[in-house]
Amino acid sequence: MQTRKLGNSPLEISAIGLGCMGMSFSYGPPKDRQEMTALLRAAVERGITFFDTAEVYGPFTNEELVGEALAPFRKQVVIATKFGFDLNPNFDPRGMKGAPGLNSRPEHIKQAVEGSLKRLKVETIDLLYQHRVDPNVPIEDVAGAVKELIQQGKIKYFGLSEAGVQTIRRAHAVQPLTALQSEYSLWTRTPEKEVIPTLEELGIGFVPYSPLGKGFLTGKMDEKTTFDSSDFRSTLPRFTPEALKANQALIDLLGTIGKRKQATPAQIALAWLLAQKPWIVPIPGTTKLHRLEENIGAVAVELTPDDLREIDSAASKITVQGTRYPEKLEQMTGL
């Protein structure tokens, strides 16, 4: 497995990480704990050293799973987690009922970190992200609280998720950021406008989540695909039958390139991300070993400058149908 550094930091991790959310949360009912433990350990055996979780996934159960499964490999792996929500007792992740409110007050951050340390079975959190920007708390206060926790040895590196350019700059001035995590893929390219140039200027790494478009870019869905009510994609505008049908043009493009490279659409989608910058580390999630191995295989797919130009040219003619989230959830889901 190739490795990459996140921006200018010394943090070196596998070129592809593993997003763990779907093992416990959002993509249908929670998966079998023993099976997911075996999958996490299989990822380590295959060279993955970067694992992504959050306290809201479950809530709490995903951190517990990751902590327990990776305990034997603690010195080999880097675990990222996130804070930033008030996890009320009525929160139901299936329909985002009683969705948690944002809370990045410094005292709450400190409480969240203590909880994450216990669940992850670690003395120090490798990388801690603010899960969503809290409009009620100045980002300088958030960065200051994290800085204190770094000085106390409870956190090694600080990151933000889905933050805009001004927020990134303000936070970075108080406590240097190691990574930004935001959605980025061939069907969500918003970060290219302002965010990626800013990260490059400041020496901050980029961790794209949903790099396979929540499963769509694997090429395994069409307008007949249905989602269980416990799968949050059942509520997303991009996963209506009409949008799935309209967006197949993107899959056709990936399939065409894939045939030439003897690679799957998912591998081309991940290879495309890896080719954008040497400090980008995507974190595709999966609950299946064969998908894990397919995703890892993307690291060996080499896209030439001509291939990349061809993908960009074709993709620019495709208008992706449907927004990422329903408007009311855009700021709240943390997904």
Of the candidates 57, 129, 157, 184, the residue annotated as catalytic is 57
Q: What is the rounded distance in angstroms from the CA atom of residue 218 to the CA atom of residue 295?
A: 10
| Terminal-to-terminal C-alpha distance of the chain | 27
Q: What is the rounded distance in angstroms from the CA atom of residue 163 to the CA atom of residue 159?
A: 10
Sheet containing 78-83: order of strands: 18-19, 50-52, 78-83, 125-130, 155-161, 179-183, 205-209
Q: Among all chains, which residue has been given the structure tokens 């064969």?
A: 290
Q: What is the rounded distance in angstroms from the CA atom of residue 189 to the CA atom of residue 280?
A: 14
Q: What is the rounded distance in angstroms from the CA atom of residue 280 to the CA atom of residue 277?
A: 6
Q: What is the rounded distance in angstroms from the CA atom of residue 3 to the CA atom of residue 274?
A: 11
Name the DSSP class of 147: H
- Record the tokens describing residue 97, joined without a space: 């009922």
CA angle centred on 195, ends 58 and 133, rounded to 5°: 40
**Does the active-site annotation cover 209?**
no
Q: What is the rounded distance in angstroms from the CA atom of residue 283 to the CA atom of residue 16?
A: 6
Longest dimension (CA), the chain: 54
Active site residues: 57
